[in-house]
Structure 1
Amino acid sequence: MAAVDTTTGRPGAPAAGGDTPARGPRRAAGTPAGRLRLALSKHWYAWTLVAPVAIVIAVIVGYPLVQGIYLSTTNANDQNSEKQIGQFLHIPATYKSVGLGNYTDILFGANTTFWARLGWTVSWTVACVGISFLIGLALAIMLNRQVRFRALYRTLLILPWAVPAFVSTFSWRFIMNHDRGFLNHALQALGLPAVDWLNDPSIAQISVIIVNIWLSFPFVMVAVLGGLQSIPAELYEAAEMDGATPWQKFWYITLPALRPVSSTVILLSTIWTFNMFPVIFLLTNGGPGDSTQLLVTYAYNKAFTGMRQFGESSAWGVIILLILVVFAVFYRRSLRKQGEVW
């Protein structure tokens, strides 16, 4: 309690032993170091449980990432990299640093193919994610109703996602075969000409999009179906009592309620599709020519085919990572402006 000056009647300095709290510890707790110490002291058990996972992730993900960034600033290739031949012959690495030379060559070099590959990769991603989301949303709405054999339909529709991607891709490669494929046999049975699904550049691009959509829509369907089942039925009942049409209920109740689920699904689908390696590599191997070559498959070819360019391939990988990070940041900011914080 503060002391009172008997001559003026005004409060004076705090009395010794008073209950005014000290400001030093509170200020210390407001600093980043203080907040970290407070979090460690309060949640030390949780930090202990998380530490092994964090260490494993740092070793498995962090070390290759740092190594890749370092290699992207060098001229490392198959000839100047470290080699171990037999048990006794060891050839040390002789590659040198080139700074940002790999990045400037990729982005602004005279023979760069980056912008063409980026355009196709973005087109592929937008088409696959957009159509997969619409198909998954439509199927989820249908399966959310009380229909006969609903469990069987759910099981059948989730199979493309359950089957390993390389098995599905090889199956589609056989189905789209020009001479022995099921699709061309079906077209010829209907009196239509056969289609060169995998060897015509324009048709090959459509083919890989179809296959990736077939692999992707079950994930969207399952996620959206879970979101639909969490919407309270009372909202639809109240809207029906107010005379709302089915379209109005879908537009003003279903879509806003699905926004948290759909935003996460779109983000994950975009990242997976942007880096979708198996479909392109196993179905067309980037061909015919480079018509279906994505950024990630092009980076793979630089590192593992012909004269293997490890430094340039690492630079391609870093650029892909930066593109996805920038997209995720802007996408998250857009969601926060709409009130969706995750």
Structure 2
Amino acid sequence: MGHLAHARKVFDVEIAGLRAVRRRLDEAFDRAVELIVETLRRRGKIIVVGIGKSGNIGHKIAATLTSTGAPSVVLNSVDALHGDLGIVTDGDVVLALSYSGESDELINLLPALRRFSIRLISFTGSARSTLARYSDVVLNVHVPREACPFNLAPTTSTTAMLVLGDALAMAVLHARGFKKSDYARLHPAGAIGRAMLLRVADIMRTGNRHAVAPETLSVRDGLLLMTRAKSGCLSIVNQRGKLVGVFTDGDFRRRIPEDDHLLTRPLREVMTRNPVCIRMDALAAEALKVFNERNIDDLIVVNAKREPVGLVDSQDLPRLKLM
């Protein structure tokens, strides 16, 4: 069997395992979500514990929960019995991960955890295991087989735990009414956070970097304004200062071969009327959406009176770490 065939077989085995776990989802999952939501409502936290590969998956589950507004910490099963139990408080909920449900380090920790007033949710492949017996809610992640040819290395089982953790985090997110703006508040340094927290007014070019011209101005003089502004776009206004059109360097290049008098024409004869624009108080994320949906390089920014006050240049977005 070739390398690609081996790879596809692993995919097939793990997909089959995920389907098996999906079919087994029942009201226990609902109870787990409700326990977590109630814990968070009472200002409790989620404590994730696991050993080996399950522990690695636990770190990712805790990170996903925390990043979506459900405060979570990872408790090391060994260090817990040497003082780290101090992170546990009454009212917390514990997510315990062990496919066998019999890992010595985890089983030794359970009696100590039960001295606290906590609720225990387990991810295990054995509904009759010691871990399952200690648990308030058991989420069964039993899979038909591992992707390992010896059916030994945790592969399908850890994938199942990971996906179940994602499902739990997303269900909790939905149940708590967690919004995109909440996500942005927790990710201020990321591209998503910046796009959701910044306004268009924060990222637009203004002043001498934004070329504005009356519609009566000639194309030649309009190009000079664009050159001084180092911009590829010219916002065109009527006598009342309202935005009525746009003229770009692309427009100029397309027209010049077929119009000998283009440079002397007034901008109103060659401009694109009713250009795409955006309000200055809109979120930067809305500007990103416009760039993604419309084939434009520059986006004119207007105020409430539809007067051009700035310009968002798509070339600025990578520098601002918005793309």
Shorter-chain TM-score: what band?
A: under 0.3
Q: Which has the higher helix share?
A: 1
Q: Which has the higher strand share?
A: 2
What TM-score comes out, normalization by structure 1 length? 0.23
- Greater relative contact order, per chain length (Cα 8 Å cut-off, separation 6+): 1
